[in-house]
Amino acid sequence: MAEVRVRTGPPASGGIGTGPGRLLVTLYAVFTVGAASRSIYQLSTRFDEAPLAYVLSALAALVYGFITVALVRGGERARALAVGCCVAELAGVLVVGTWTVLDPAAFPDATVWSDYGMGYLFIPLALPVTGLLWLRRHRRPAA
Amino acid sequence: MLTPLTVAVAVTALALAAWCGHAAYRDQPTKDWHFIGMAVVTVLALAQLVVGVVLLAQGREPADGTVVFVSYLLGAAAAIPAVGFLSLAERTRWGSVTVAAGAVVLAVLQVRLHDIWGGGVG
């Protein structure tokens, strides 16, 4: 075979952490750092004030962290993990959001997911939906 | 906190976001000029970090506590370099979008920094 050219550059399909995925990685990293540092600070200094809110913030940080790592690592298993975490994240936003609307007394202090993430421009609600749509496009490994 | 500096960082960050957003709109990756822009914003954010630490050293107390204040200062200083490196790895329009997103985050951090310090000039 003559003249077989090696294609350079990213593969046609790309990974889940490249292209638009790079933006998702950035946003998830921001929310991981934000939620994690916030919950570590609050859990260590004033756990008694709003234990439920702070534990939920820590949980959110954990979910965000898993998704960030999964997106960066790529591969089919990471993709599956990211899908699971995005579903958990979406469920978290919806459940905690509804909970804070129905029973504000249970939350003396806010979490990332309070009022469906209103304090964070609803990005916590938009992220998992965007994430799931993005991951759907990568359901099949590159043929 | 030095309010003019906070405003300067926020405004330049938003300008950078608009600029990189425009590059993304035109389907372009970040170019040398964008990186110079990022450097300018980063220098301002670093100056803010220095000013903040000096104020703390003078015995000033942020309204929401020193730990939170310093964390936000460090986050603000790291924001643009982090997305800048990402855009070096992502030589498509999505690298530009990423930098724009990071710059918006930096602008939001400025608003929070202002609140954490307790507002006002000083």
Residue B68 located in a structural domain: yes
Look at residue B122 and tell me if it is in a domain: no
How far, in Å, CA of A41 to CA of A37, rounded?
6
Q: What ipTM does this complex have?
A: 0.89
In a domain, B110, yes or no: yes
Q: Nearest CA to B8 among B90, B118, B114? A: B114
Other CB atoms closer than 10 Å to residue B12's CB: what's the count? Answer: 21
For residue A86, the model assigns a pLDDT of 96
- Residue B90 to residue A41, Cβ atoms within 8 A: no
pLDDT above 70 coverage of chain A, percent: 87
pLDDT in tens, A47-61: 888 888 899 999 999
Cβ A125 vs Cβ A31: under 8 Å:
no
Distance (Å) from the alpha carbon of B97 to chain A's nearest alpha carbon: 7
Residue B111 lies in a domain: yes
pLDDT (tens digit, 9 = 90+) per residue, A112-140?
899 999 988 899 999 999 999 999 988 76
- pLDDT band at residue B120 under the 50/70/90 scheme: low
In a domain, B109, yes or no: yes
Number of H helices, E strands in chain B: 4, 0
Sort A41 into a burial class: Cβ within 10 Å, 0-12 / 13-18 / 19+: middle
Query: Do A20 and B98 lie within an 8 Å CB cutoff?
Result: no
Output the pLDDT for position A49: 87
Tell me the two tokens of residue A84.
């699971």
Query: In this model, does residue A19 exceed pLDDT 60?
Result: yes
A117: DSSP letter: G
Residue B74 placed within a domain = yes
